[in-house]
Structure 1
Amino acid sequence: MEAYSTQVVELLSLGKTSEGIHQMKVVVTHEHKQGTYVIAIDEFTFLEIEACRPLNGARARISLYPKWDPYRNTYYSSIIRTTDFSRETLYFVCSEEYLNQIKQMRQGQLPSAAGNGGQQEQERREITAAGAESEAQLEVSTLSRANFLKRIYIRVPRMVNLVLIGFIFLVILSIPYHSKAGLMDLGGRTNAANTGNTNEANGTAVMEGSNTAVLPAFASVKELDQHEAALPAAVKEAEAGNRTDDKDQPDQPQKNYEVIDVDPEKKLFGLPKGYVALTFDDGPSRYTEKIVDILTSSKVAATFLFIGENAKRNPDAVRYASKQGMSIGNHSWDHQEMTKVAPAEQVQNLSKTVSLLESLTHTAVTLFRPPYGAVDDKLFEVAGKQHMKTLMWNRDPEDWNHKKPEDILRYFHGIEASGGIYVLHEDKNTVEALPDILKYLKGKSLTFAIFK
């Protein structure tokens, strides 16, 4: 089955050369590369696309999956036209030649040379952004320090407990004991030094071939009782506080998945063979808790990329997803295309979203998924300075654009799942399709993954 490589094809312009060649200029995002290309297309498809007026004051994204219409006996495709206020799908008839060109782009077989116009435009943008970026450096640095201190604050209780436990362990080791041949266990049996396996996490030793736990070295049970009675009350309280009741712990599902640490130096598009990940964009919504329940009932987890404005309206959904062991990430405050704003505004947007999500989850939020998949080196750098790791995708069922759950499920059956990071959305049809999606993926014996 075909492996999906290209993530986004954005239409920049349509035109005709003096030689009569019909062309379209596109920006193609493919794994870690992004390039501007001028592609020759047939006149029939060119006129069909032009009739849709896709660039009429909007951003146009070309569908990577043309389809066959058996009633009209022809191929057709679509363009998603997006403005600040709306998103609509424009359908057009296309040729088989166009179908093959899109298939090649989808598989990562990009044109050999980029158009000069796109390259010059990129250089112009970089020059224009340079001044704004230099003005934003102080704000970037200040907010980065603030976020760093906030993460330290989140981790302080755990760090204090670890320090106190370490102190107790050192006190125990410093108490003299009396033994001639070795260590005495509670039953008075002598064990030779270096015998058994050490469980460092609990400060105890376990004998090989035995389930008997050997306590730290005291001459007798009486001496141990005396030492316990002498411990300061504050230390005892801290030690007791570190042993929380089960009812205070998050309702974590049985872990039939792995946590993948995203490399902060790269944008992550896919996974190694044998792994699969489901990610959900644009929440939280009224469907969030239902999606989480379906995942936990299947004993797997997913990564949720939340929009700040939606999280402000649905804080309980954020808390619920986090409590159930889902990974939470930043999908911007308002889902605007962040590559079109100045670095200072990018900083504010990301920081505001992180602050809200961390206040709800009490967990550091370090994942960032750019809206529309639009990310350039400048945005990637701004996100990195705020300790954000950029998470992309390499499987796009376009679930938001389907009218029936069966259409979403059909995509999963028609493409190689291994190594895929699927981008899904919190939509009614997606919720209905999710149990069957999970059943299908689990039947492939793949390891599910979430990200941090």
Structure 2
Amino acid sequence: MSVYHRKVLELLAIEKSNEKTYLRIKLELELEIELFWEIDSDTAENLIAISEFDGNHKCRLSLHTTLDMVKKQYISLLTRTYRDKSARIYFTCSVDYKNDLDSIKNIQSVNDINYLPFLSKNLSVIDKNKTEQINEQNEVVIPKGYKLPLKWVSVAIISVIFIILFGYSTNISINDTTIAKAAGKTAEAHLVKRKTVVTPVTKLVKDDYIQSRLPYIELDDFITYSIPEGYVSLTFDDGPSKYTTKIVDILKQYKAGGTFFFIGINVQKHPDYVRYAHSNGYTIGSHSMNHVKMSNLSYEKQKDEFIQSTKAIENITNEKVVLFRPPYEDLNEQTKDVIHDYHDKMILWNKDPLDWKTRDADKIFNYVRNTKSSGSIILLHESQAVIDALPRIIERLQEQNLKIVNLQ
């Protein structure tokens, strides 16, 4: 069974050398790697304004960006932490930064860094047993016998044509969708912009434009019960099921976010429902493999429940699963150890309409209507009663000017 790794990107400093600006970062993958990331001066200035490198604060860079359709700007997030307090600070970033970030997000191992020339040489690899130096060469080394896939050559040619036309056509009006798709190219765009780039490790796992239309909150706490005021999260447990696609369709109709916690055995039975939720931009988390009480199991068996379910989902979506919800809200210290060891986030809740018990759409809706929903994570289960109540729930939340978000 392969080992599961989650990426964490810590910002250590912002430095200038030879009129170029670099982020000194620590990337946590299967190892911890310190390296330099060359970025544009505008994004660097925005980060300088919100970062604190005083030895007390830790700054973590989000691996996600969203597109502001009005200003035609990409937005990313820095989380600044001091002791047990953290602040999420948004900043505008360039298309280059977004593309570089996508490249980092899609690498699968430290060896893949060799294909990302915007990351400088002298990468210190920190292991438990030794420290070694990798990537001492100035140029990216293409593995012997490696042939550039035809589809990437095609992407490069098309991108060159687009850039030429875009650069010389100052009087052409381009609609939002075209801008989003053009700006939203992932690491393959570097084939045009940086001559030494080859990106065989990059996978297009989701349409960036679809994802950018859904509001989301990126969580920083290890265990989360609630979210900031002004936001609300609708979460759906125990799928995928015959109800999944209908729930997705309702959320799409209202342009509302949603988070699904799927059981591994159901994922294996209904892979198409998993693809449907994922392809429409909704977050998918794990709800264990067999929906068991985790505290009844040993550490190793809990780990198996976790890994098997996440891998079942990842094999379908080609995207890392980072959220976990223990069935029955049942957990112990070993459960926490499992999630901590795999750098995941545990999502619980602070609002429960007991929809599994009542199976009554009116009672489900009335619970939400009569409850303070701002800042809440609402626990729901996939069922016909929830489908019947969901449009009214969403309308009620939107009447209160609450943003219904994906959790990430």
TM range (shorter): 0.5 to 0.7
TM-superposed deviation, 1:240: 12
Q: Hey, what does 1:346 align to over in structure 2?
A: 302
Summarize the Cα distance change of 1:249–1:236 in structure 2 as closer, same or farther, 3 Å threshold: farther
| Contact 1:276/1:446 (<8 A) preserved | yes
C-alpha distance in 1 between matches for 2:334 and 2:202: 43
Which digits, 9 at most, give the CA deviation of each residue in 1:99-122, with x for residues without a partner? Answer: xxxxxxxxxxxxxxxxxxxxxxxx
2:101 corresponds to 1:148: no
1:399 to 355, 378, 382: 355
Q: Which residue of 1 aligns with 2:240?
A: 284
Q: TM-score, normalised by structure 1?
A: 0.48
In the TM superposition, residue 163 of structure 1 has moved relative to its aligned partner by 1.6
Aligned-pair distance for 1:321? Answer: 0.8
Partners of 2:199 and 2:298 lie apart in 1 by 49
- Residues 253 and 156 of structure 1, relative CA distance in 2, 3 Å threshold: closer
2:116 to 163, 166, 169: 163
Structure 2: distance between partners of 1:248 and 1:370: 26
Matched, 1:382 2:338: yes
CA distance in 2: counterparts of 1:289 and 1:316, whole angstroms: 10
Give the aligned CA root-mean-square deviation in angstroms.
3.9
**What's the secondary structure of 1:422's corresponding residue?**
strand
Provide the residue aligned with 2:230 in structure 1: 274
Amino acid paired to 1:396: D
Tell me by how many angstroms 1:387 deviates.
Answer: 2.2
Q: What pairs up with 1:363-382 in 2 under 5 angstroms? A: 363-382=319-338
Aligned partner of residue 270 in structure 1, secondary structure: coil
Contact 2:274–2:313 at 8 Å: present in 1 too?
yes
Task: Look up the match of 2:397.
Answer: 441
Counterpart check, 1:296 vs 2:252: yes
1:417, 1:304 → 2: CA distance? 19
- Compared CA separation, residues 149 and 373, structure 1 to 2 (3 A): closer
* Identical positions, percent: 31
Q: What amino acid does structure 2 have at the position aligned with 1:163?
A: L
Closer, same or farther: CA 409–386 of 1 in aligned 2, 3 Å: same
Which residue type is aligned with residue 263 of structure 1? D
1:260 aligns with 2:117: no
8 A contact 1:154–1:362 mirrored in 2? no
Count of residues in Structure 1 that have an aligned counterpart in Structure 2: 248
> Is the contact made by 1:161 and 1:242 (CA closer than 8 Å) also made in structure 2?
no
Taking structure 2 as the reference length, the TM-score comes to 0.53
CA distance in 2 between partners of 1:354 and 1:156 (Å): 18
d(CA) in 1 for partners of 2:285 and 2:220? 12
User: For 2:273, what is the secondary structure of its paired residue?
Assistant: helix
Q: Which has the larger radius of gyration?
A: 1
For residue 406 of structure 1, give the secondary structure of its aligned residue in structure 2: helix
Q: 1:385 to 1:450 in 2, by over 3 A?
A: same
Kindly report which structure 2 residues correspond to 1:240-255, keeping only aligned pairs within 5 A, or say none: 249=207, 252=210, 255=213
* Residue of structure 2 aligned with 1:432, choices 371, 388, 401: 388
Counterpart Cα distance in 1 of 2:319 and 2:291: 22
**Segments of 4+ in structure 1 off by > 4 A?**
149-154, 157-162, 164-167, 234-244
**Is the contact between residue 301 and residue 448 of structure 1 (CA under 8 Å) also seen in structure 2?**
yes
CA distance in 2, matches of 1:295, 1:248: 18
CA contact (8 A) 2:239 2:262 kept: yes
